[in-house]
């Protein structure tokens, strides 16, 4: 009987716990608006140069090209081709982000001509040795987090909503992420990442947003600092090109094999 009672209690209280109070509601509303504001761009190609700097100011660079396609009702599909360092030139990475199941990922090893389906539990692992992890570069789907509005705050002189995000997907390296959403565009201006122990791990700044197709904002630059190691990574994006009429066949294993 006691057991039944507790189940009954859980069932009645569960909705309260997840939707919570007004802060949770407002957090979710902001996230929904942010998600809606960046809906309908269809597909995008870009190239990116990554500059990795360690605590002794030693610098290495990476270069990749990226194609992404929106999938209605699910996460994005993306195909990344590595241009530098030269030993990784021609290596390609295909990923399907999903909202409520693990992502699908394939890696193409050019010298072996081998496609490997890989585990997507590498979310917290560094992308190409940088301070960005795989979860930082994958598409920010609405249902992958729980939200809580904290307050209005100015960040870099921009009026923003400060919102706490708690990852609900498996294998995340974060306890929480604090995001500052620009009040007028709903784009993130800044994010602070807290690791599983609750320590402030990294800060990400989005620099120089530009407007494309009259409504979609993309940053020219992203700057990540790791507070524990002192290492930084700067991403510089170039050649943003929307609406390339990509289809599913641009994001399958055949496309991965010929990507370069």
Partner 1 sequence: MKYKFTYKHFLISIVTSLMCISQSVVAKPEISGEIGVEGRFFKDSPLDSRQQGNNLSLYFKPEFFWKSKEKPWTVTFSPFIRVDESDSKRTHGDIRELVFHHAGKKWEYKVGITKVYWGVTESQHLVDIINQTDAIESIDGEEKLGQPMINLIFKQKWGTTELFLLPYFRKRTFTGVQGRLRPSPPIDASQTRYESSAEENNLDFAIRWSRTVGIWDIGLSHFSGTSRIPRFTFGADINGQAVLLPYYDQIDQTGLDLQATAGSWLWKLEVISRNSQFESYNALTAGFEYTKTGIFKSKKDLGYLVEFLYDDRNDPRVTPFERDVFLGLRLAFNDVQSTEVLTGVIIDDDSDERSYFLELSRRLGKSFKLSVEARIISNPEATSLLYPLRRDNYIQLQLIRYF
Under the rule (CB under 8 A), what is the footprint of partner 1? 52, 54, 60, 85-90, 102, 104, 112-126, 129, 170-171, 173, 247, 249, 252-254, 258, 260
Q: Which CB, 40 or 230, lies closer to partner 1? A: 230
Q: How far is the CB of 121 from partner 1 (least distance, A)?
A: 5
Kind plus residue range of the DSSP H or E element containing 9? helix 2-19
Angle at 160 between CA 159 and CA 164, to 5 degrees: 160
Q: Which CB, 40 or 85, lies closer to partner 1? A: 85
114, 108 Cβ separation under 8 angstroms: yes
CA 166 remoteness from chain centre: 14
> How far is residue 102's CA from residue 117's CA, in Å, rounded to a whole number?
13
Q: Which CB, 142 or 253, lies closer to partner 1? A: 253
Q: How far is the CB of 43 from partner 1 (least distance, A)?
A: 15
> How far is residue 182's CA from residue 258's CA, in Å, rounded to a whole number?
39
Q: How far is the CB of 106 from partner 1 (least distance, A)?
A: 8
Kind plus residue range of the DSSP H or E element containing 243? none
Q: Which CB, 33 or 114, lies closer to partner 1? A: 114
DSSP structure class, residue 258: H
193, 201 Cβ separation under 8 angstroms: yes
Q: How far is the CB of 113 from partner 1 (least distance, A)?
A: 5
Q: How far is the CB of 115 from partner 1 (least distance, A)?
A: 8
Q: How far is the CB of 114 from partner 1 (least distance, A)?
A: 4
Q: Which CB, 28 or 52, lies closer to partner 1? A: 52
> Which residues, including other chains, have CB under 8 Å from residue 26's CB and lie 6 or more apart?
149
Q: Which CB, 170 or 241, lies closer to partner 1? A: 170
Q: Please, which contacts does 69-72 make with residues 24 or more away whose CB atoms are closer than 8 Å? A: 69/42, 69/43, 69/44, 69/246, 69/250, 69/251, 70/39, 70/40, 70/41, 70/42, 70/43, 71/96
């Amino acid at each position: 009987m006691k057991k039944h009672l507790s189940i009954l209690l859980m069932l009645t209280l569960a909705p309260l716990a997840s939707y919570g109070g007004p802060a949770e509601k407002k957090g979710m509303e902001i996230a929904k608006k942010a998600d809606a504001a960046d809906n309908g761009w269809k597909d995008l190609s870009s190239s990116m140069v990554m500059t990795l700097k360690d605590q002794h100011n030693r610098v290495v660079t990476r270069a990749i090209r990226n194609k992404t396609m929106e999938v209605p009702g699910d996460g994005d599909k993306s195909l990344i081709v590595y241009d530098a360092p030269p030993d990784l030139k021609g290596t390609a990475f295909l990923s399907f982000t999903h909202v409520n199941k693990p992502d699908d990922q394939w890696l193409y090893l050019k010298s072996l001509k081998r496609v490997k389906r890989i585990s997507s539990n590498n979310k917290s692992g560094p992308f190409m040795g940088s301070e960005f992890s795989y979860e930082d570069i994958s598409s920010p789907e609405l249902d992958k987090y729980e939200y809580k509005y904290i307050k209005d705050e100015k960040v870099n002189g921009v009026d923003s909503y400060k919102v706490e995000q708690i990852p609900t997907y498996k294998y995340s390296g974060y306890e929480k992420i604090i995001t500052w959403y620009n009040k007028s565009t709903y784009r993130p201006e800044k994010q602070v990442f807290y690791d599983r122990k609750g320590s402030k791990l990294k800060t990400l700044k989005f620099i120089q947003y530009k407007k494309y197709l009259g409504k979609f904002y993309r940053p020219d630059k992203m700057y990540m600092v790791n507070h524990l190691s002192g290492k930084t990574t700067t991403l510089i994006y170039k050649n943003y090109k929307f609406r390339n009429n990509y289809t599913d066949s641009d994001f399958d294993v055949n496309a991965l094999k010929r990507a370069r």
